Amino acid sequence: MSTTTTPRTRGIEVRSIDYVPLGERHGKVSHIGPLWFMSNAQIATLATGLISITGGGNLIWSLIAIVIGILIGTIFMAAHSSQGPQLGLPQMIQSRPQFGYIGALLVWLFAYLQYAGFNIFNTILAGQAVGGAISSGQASDPLWLWVVTVVAVVIALIGYDLIHSVERYLMILTIVMLALLTISAVVHLPVPGAQFDLAGFHAVPFFGQLGVAAGYQISWAIYVSDYSRYLPSSVRTRSTFAWTFWGSALGGIWVMFLGSWIAVSAKDIGSNTVVDLKHVADLLFPGFGAIALIIAALGLISVTALNMYGGSLTLISSIDSFVRIRPTLAIRIVTIVVTAAISILFALFASADFLGYFEAFLLLILYLFIPWTAVNLTDFFIVRRGHYAIAEIFKPNGIYRRWGWHGIAAYLIGFAAMTPFFDVAGFYQGAASKAMGGVDISLFIGLPVSAICYWLFTRRIDVRAERALADAQTAEIEEAARAHALP
């Protein structure tokens, strides 16, 4: 494709699931580092660092599990991010070549549930953080849930450029806050020497923490190329991968390990993450707790905006599978508002029991995306090697067909292979996990099984013919994109 001179549209973003033409590509690859650092450097991530500790593990093995799990999960996440500059498409629409025009609805439904689910959780946490900082403990005031939602809607509506800008500035504040919080935890929350004993290894909490850390990172896979698709196509794959990988991994490791440290040392702290954070911050100097909560709330608002933005793209993709739509500002507004409405309604009526059950629900959603990430990445890096007939992705009867049985079959086989290894406390424990004393290694089963199956099922795909068609459609896709229409 040749670079055009068409100026990109400024202000409120209009594009949604459509291809971003070369003339509108902009930004620096380094901008995605702060975005993914901030996505992990927030309260929800802090809570995920408690899995091993609450399960009976010690601090040193918790740290090892966190590092290994995050590094493994972030490899897959960052690989998805590198698809953005090459394809110029949001993440979930890229599932059509593997699953088909209609078949992709299988994963889009799961994706939308995840967007809505995390937003409910993040909205509640952000509301509690603002309430705890401003209203002297009146964290349950629904006013703050509305404030959080409205601000997130505005950010998501303005779109891509504002989201990146907000994350870059927030990263500076967040790093300062986390550094001071870490100092406070290390100085005021001493850890018993036994917590660093390598002989204190326990498999169940170790693999539980490793799996949650890896799954937490893989859960970002449905977002990532949404925020790299406007980058110039000249950006190297390895650069996109590196900035995404290190931004996300460093944020995740730091905050999860901080959560583990607090859990093993502060026995007088309860199970409320917001209250815990404020308590530890105030140990450094009076008033720092309120400041830390405000900064944490801003981070959660930015993540909520990411979920609304991605949820909107997924909802538009789903609607387009049934009725061909033109990507306009109006459709973006409607889908963002719908996504926000779902989050705020559930957040307003959520109970303590609901939040407990919801943690298990989100774990199930993560299980559902392990086979998808294996299929999508195998297709991109091994089968088609990044070459797609993009115009065909938007055609119901195009070369990718309505149903992509190769991808669907590989997905279902991979998911079925994982099932015996599932361990969702209080809901389901597979036979293999039970035999291993509660160890959950489903992640390491589903990824290779789905990837190998998809590779075997696609051996007869005529990749050369697809590449020739893609080259022939270059002008068509650029012209359609400049006209803000699907080809």
Assess contact for 26 and 233: CB atoms under 8 A: no
Distance in Å from the first CA to the final CA of the chain: 16
Sort 114 into a burial class: Cβ within 10 Å, 0-12 / 13-18 / 19+: buried
Whose tokens are 């970002």? That residue is 220
Number of Cβ within 10 Å of residue 456's Cβ equals 10
Among 130, 124, 135, residue whose Cα is nearest residue 294 = 130
DSSP-derived pairing of the beta strands 423-424 and 428-429: antiparallel
Q: What is the pTM of this model?
A: 0.90
CATH of domain 22-482: 1.10.4160.10
Rounded to whole angstroms, the Cα distance separating 468 from 392 reads 13
Sort 10 into a burial class: Cβ within 10 Å, 0-12 / 13-18 / 19+: exposed
3-state class (DSSP) for residue 423: strand
Residue 428's H or E segment, with its range, is strand 428-429
Phi, psi angles (nearest 5°) of residue 424: -110, 105
Q: What is the pLDDT along the chain (487 residues), one digit of tens a residue?
A: 333 333 344 578 888 888 999 989 999 999 999 999 999 998 888 888 888 888 888 999 999 999 999 999 999 999 999 999 999 999 889 999 999 999 999 888 888 888 888 888 888 888 888 888 886 554 567 888 899 999 999 999 999 999 999 999 999 999 999 999 999 999 999 888 889 999 989 988 898 889 889 988 988 988 899 999 999 999 999 999 999 999 999 999 999 999 999 888 865 554 577 888 888 999 999 999 999 999 999 999 999 999 999 999 999 988 888 888 877 888 899 999 999 999 898 888 775 555 556 666 767 777 888 999 999 999 999 999 988 999 899 988 899 999 999 999 999 999 999 999 998 776 788 999 889 888 888 989 999 999 999 999 999 998 899 888 888 888 778 877 776 655 5
3-state class (DSSP) for residue 412: helix
Assess contact for 313 and 17: CB atoms under 8 A: yes
Rounded to whole angstroms, the Cα distance separating 299 from 247 reads 15
